[in-house]
Structure 1
Amino acid sequence: MGVPVPEFIRELRAQVGHRELWLSGVSVVVLDAGGRVLLTRRVDNGRWAVVSGVLEPGEEPARAAVREVAEETAVTVDIVRLTSVDVTPVITYPNGDRARYLDVCFLAHHVAGDPRAADDENSDVAWFAPDSLPDELTDTSRLRISKALEGGPQAWFRR
């Protein structure tokens, strides 16, 4: 199993091959009523991560965040606020494709649905207390969770 590739990226890859692409993405720190964080275990690297995905051309980031959570976990969320903006290191996928993402991260509250791995991008979905996050958590997710839980009204970004 692999991560599904959006059609617009397949079209780009037909032109650029495995060279590094600069893409826009969203990630979401989802909290339940008890303050637990929703994480997914990714199929491509076996690590836990916050929900994330690629923006479709012209898609609004907050709408993409809601869509990604529903597609990956079968959960409905309400977006609370923007929490951070950062750039990922270069990611090399198992097929050799390389990409770097401008990530826009949101805090969201769980509204409805029992979390489950709802697509083939993830093998598991679970709630974790913020003080009991799994060791296999991606570094980018650890940063995004930290910034989302700080609680300030401003979004974090590197200066």
Structure 2
Amino acid sequence: MSDYVASIRAHIGTAFLMLPGVTAVIRDGDRFLLGRHHHSGLWSLIGGGVEPGEEPADALLREVLEETGARVRIRGIVGVYGGEPMMVRYPNGDHVGYVTTAYDCELLSEATADPEELLELGWFARDEIPALQRRDWIDRVIADASTHA
């Protein structure tokens, strides 16, 4: 949790909070890089929150580096997503709704899972993803990214 979000949480507790986010759609051909998150055990795309004063594209580069140690090149925007599918209740009770900008990305260096955030990383073909325990919202993002290929 960022210092910014922690300062808001000090005032509102675990009540609903809407936050801007970024999502990296890192792909190689028709394979997508997903991370299995430590807090939920679910597979998802790599991403996180935008800090105050931070450009969303810079936030994306920072989040990918923090979670995977990798550098990426942004090729474009896939789309912007929000609503019910983007709402999360974390194990500590915090209720969050994200509005995320998803970026199409190319991996430029080796990626390894940060053990504080991710249990593992994996490359999956689009047709393998529905069999994973995952955040359902990624299906829409991946479908949109596939049409931009």
Q: Point out the more displaced range, 85-94 or 120-129.
A: 85-94
Matched, 1:150 2:147: yes
Q: Which amino acid aligns with 1:116?
A: T
Deviation, structure 1 residue 131: 2.2
* C-alpha RMSD of matched pairs (Å): 1.4
TM-score by length of 2: 0.92
Q: Residue 157 of structure 1 corresponds to which residue in structure 2?
A: none
CA contact under 8 A between 1:71 and 1:119: conserved in structure 2? no
Q: Residue 83 of structure 1 corresponds to which residue in structure 2?
A: 78
SS in 2 for 1:131: helix
**Runs (4+) of structure 1 moved beyond 4 Å?**
none
Gaps (5+ residues) in structure 1? Answer: 153-159
Q: Distance in 1 between matches of 2:120 and 2:127?
A: 20
Structure 1 or 2: larger helix share?
2
Q: Which amino acid aligns with 1:55?
A: V
Matched, 1:53 2:83: no
Per-residue CA distance 1:47-93 (angstroms, 9 max, x = gap): 10000100011111111111111111111110000111011423111
Gaps (5+ residues) in structure 2? Answer: none
Q: Residue 36 of structure 2 corresponds to which residue in structure 1?
A: 41
Q: Distance in 2 between matches of 1:40 and 1:87?
A: 20
Identity of aligned residues (%): 34
Q: Residue 59 of structure 2 corresponds to which residue in structure 1?
A: 64
Q: Residue 93 of structure 2 corresponds to which residue in structure 1?
A: 96
Matched, 1:107 2:117: no
SS in 1 for 2:51: coil
SS in 1 for 2:99: strand
How many residue pairs get matched?
146
Q: Distance in 1 between matches of 2:92 and 2:4?
A: 17
Q: Distance in 2 between matches of 1:43 and 1:118?
A: 10
TM-score by length of 1: 0.86
SS in 1 for 2:108: strand
